[in-house]
Amino acid sequence: MKKKLGYNIRIKSEKVDHSVFKEYVEIAKRADDAGIYYLAFPEFFARPDPNRIHVVPYMAAIATQTENVKLGFDVLELPLLHPLQVAYISASLDIISNGRFILGIGLGWVKSEYENFGIPFEERGKIGDESLDIIKKLLSEGAIHEYKGKYFKLKNVVNPQCVQKPHPPIWIGGHSNPALRRTAQYGNEWAGMWQDPGKMMGWKKEEWDITERLEKLKQYCREFGRELVFGREPRGSCEVGYNQRLEVNINPDKEKAIEEMRYWWEEVRKRQCRGGDTIENKLKYAAVGPADEVIEKIEAVFKTGAYLVTLYPSSVDSKTQWERIENEILPCI
């Protein structure tokens, strides 16, 4: 494997018990041995999805069983947690992993989650910005003597020192203009999703098209005195990187791959994320079918300038999907 690939290690199962957890630990260890660059741990709250476990202890457990692979939230819905919690969790995971942690954040789009937490949905962007300001200070400096913001007022708070300096990388998810502005202002990388959210969210083409989004991100980077770089990781605080996520289902029988993806999306997941998109639209952007077709789609994503492509297997049979990635995809990328 010459190019950097990531893998979504979120448990995808019709039930969750210790045996399923152990299966995923073994997949993570094999991914580490195979040279996978990054393991993605999506986290969200208060959705009707019982078949998951809390990401923080899960990631910590995986960190103790791996040595080289990076691990990160992909992404954490930031406004639903207090920034002191996020800073403390982030530093702790960076220490446990010996400097392999990545803080991926987003805002989410499910209004009911915010209602359950008692947090105003319409203010999530401003809350997120203020939280990021606090988190970066705590992760970089280890302490805040006093902070007076609109949403948070702090005095004499401290945080464990991170292994990575000045702080673990911060990745920002989302395709909206505020998300891209937030990336340019606070983030180290933009974590995009290889899909068309416009058809789900009612956005205009310029609000989801990858070429348009990258041009907009370049513009925001210039406004903040930074540069968007392609094909490699960013170096230093003046550069912003770009990576992408891609849903996959690898099967030599394409029809079986589609049906397996459909079952996972409609029956197991109940279309609970990314706007409840239809399987027909997801198939336009996912990499589904024989390995050669999946590889072709992965290479197309790399050609947009992403230095890292994280594969999200859309299947309840993650063991088989990982084996196909390990044996049929990695040797060819």
- Distant-in-sequence, close-in-space partners of 262: CB < 8 Å, separation ≥ 6: 279
Tell me how far apart the alpha carbons of residues 240 and 58 are, in angstroms, rounded to a whole number. Answer: 29
Tell me how far apart the alpha carbons of residues 13 and 20 are, in angstroms, rounded to a whole number. Answer: 8
281 pLDDT tier (thresholds 50, 70, 90): confident
Domains of the chain (ranges; CATH) run 4-332 (3.20.20.30)
- Comparing CA positions, the residue from 78, 79, 179, 85 lying closest to residue 138 is 85
Mean pLDDT of 246-274: 86
pLDDT: is 112 or 180 the higher one? 180
**Res 190 pLDDT > 70:** yes
Q: Which amino acid is at 189?
A: E
In this prediction, residue 118 carries a pLDDT of 95
Average pLDDT, the chain: 92
Q: CB of 161 within 8 A of CB of 179?
A: no
Mean pLDDT of 230-248: 96
Helix pair 124-141, 177-186: axis angle to 10 deg: 20
**Res 321 pLDDT > 70:** yes
In this prediction, residue 18 carries a pLDDT of 95
In this prediction, residue 1 carries a pLDDT of 73
pLDDT, tens digit, for every residue of 112-158?
A: 889 999 999 999 999 999 999 999 999 999 999 999 999 999 999 99
In this prediction, residue 267 carries a pLDDT of 82
Tell me how far apart the alpha carbons of residues 157 and 175 are, in angstroms, rounded to a whole number. Answer: 33
Residue 172 forms beta bridges with which residues?
105, 190
In this prediction, residue 152 carries a pLDDT of 98
pTM value surpassing 0.75: yes
pLDDT, tens digit, for every residue of 67-94?
A: 999 999 999 999 999 999 999 999 999 9
Mean pLDDT of 298-327: 96
- Comparing CA positions, the residue from 205, 199, 208, 209 lying closest to residue 275 is 199
In this prediction, residue 325 carries a pLDDT of 98
In this prediction, residue 280 carries a pLDDT of 83
Tokens of 35: 């040279």
